[in-house]
Structure 1
Amino acid sequence: MGVIVVSAICFEREDGAVLTVRKRGTGMWMLPGGKPDPGEGAAECAVREVREELGVALPVDRIELVDVFETRAANEAGFALRATVFRTRERIEPVVQAEIEGCRWILPAVGVDDPAEAPLNREHVFPLLLAERAAAARA
């Protein structure tokens, strides 16, 4: 099984909603991001991709590493995915462009059960965010 390597950014709004995007010709919603260019670091890739896909200019120092996750690729059957995920709470106004066909804000509590959300989101990112919110509520 081949492995697709990507970098992505989890944009979180104050209400906890997360921005997901859908690429043209696909049915799955995923975090904005993409594959690195040769010699490009994970963080640099993530900020370049969101600039190209959403018109969001974000300095590398405004994102923080969440983790590196491994799961199934959303749109490439038979491939695994290794995703370096960053996060930010920067306020943005995304403009759909390049290969992106749509974007939406979704609450992790809703997205975790949405079959249209990519496995990365349903299995890793949304459960992590929900666990963080639950821990913060108990504190």
Structure 2
Amino acid sequence: MANIIRIAAALLIDPQGRTLLVRKHGTEAFMQPGGKIDAGETPVQALVRELHEELGLAIDPDQARYLGQFSAPAANEPGFVVQAELFRVDSAATVTPAAEIEEVQWLAADQTATLPLAPLTRDLILPLYREAVSAPH
């Protein structure tokens, strides 16, 4: 059985349709904002807490639309698999890197990411995001 890290992650989308990627202190890979789900927390509660801690973002849990569960090798913990409960959050609020976040980067759907990306972001979430924003409304 693989070592699993359970997280809640946000596909955070701004009014221009860009998505936010974050990089933690001392790491190279960019990934979705979010973090580990604490004992007794629901995924959406963890998401609300993490977005507030990491980006100073106050979201209403009802704003978060559940997209599904995704798994991939963890970017920063070799031998671990990250299992993400992914939510789409549309927000026009300004984000401010805080807590362990060192850098934030907005990425447009048609922009090729030249940044190093976490496997989950690169292989699963960005393709889903590009499909979501290019889909006819």
**Same topology, TM > 0.5:** yes
More strand by share: 2
Question: What does the per-residue CA deviation read over 1:57-112, in whole Å, with 9 as the maximum and x for residues that have no partner?
Answer: 1110111101110111111111111000101112121111111111110124435x
2:38 equivalent to 1:37: yes
1:110 aligned counterpart, secondary structure = coil
Structure 1: gaps of 5 or more residues: none
Which residue does the alignment assign to 2:3?
A: 2
Structure 2: gaps of 5 or more residues: none
2:85 aligned counterpart, secondary structure = strand
Which residue does the alignment assign to 1:28?
A: 29
Identical counterparts, % of pairs: 35
Which residue does the alignment assign to 1:67?
A: 68
Q: Is the 8 A contact 2:56 2:97 kept in 1?
A: yes
Is 9-18 or 61-70 further displaced after alignment? 9-18
Moved over 6 A (4+): none
2:92 aligned counterpart, secondary structure = coil
Residue 118 of structure 2 aligns to which amino acid in structure 1? A
Partners of 2:12 and 2:33 lie apart in 1 by: 9
- Aligned residue-pair number: 136
TM-score under structure 2 length normalisation:
0.91
Q: Is the 8 A contact 1:108 1:127 kept in 2?
A: no
2:58 equivalent to 1:57: yes
Q: Is the 8 A contact 1:109 1:126 kept in 2?
A: no
Mapping 1:114-133, distance limit 5 Å = 114=114, 116-133=116-133
Question: What does the per-residue CA deviation read over 1:14-49, in whole Å, with 9 as the maximum and x for residues that have no partner?
Answer: 332110111000001111110011100000000100
Q: What's the C-alpha RMSD, in Å, of the aligned pairs?
A: 1.6
Residue 91 of structure 2 aligns to which amino acid in structure 1? E
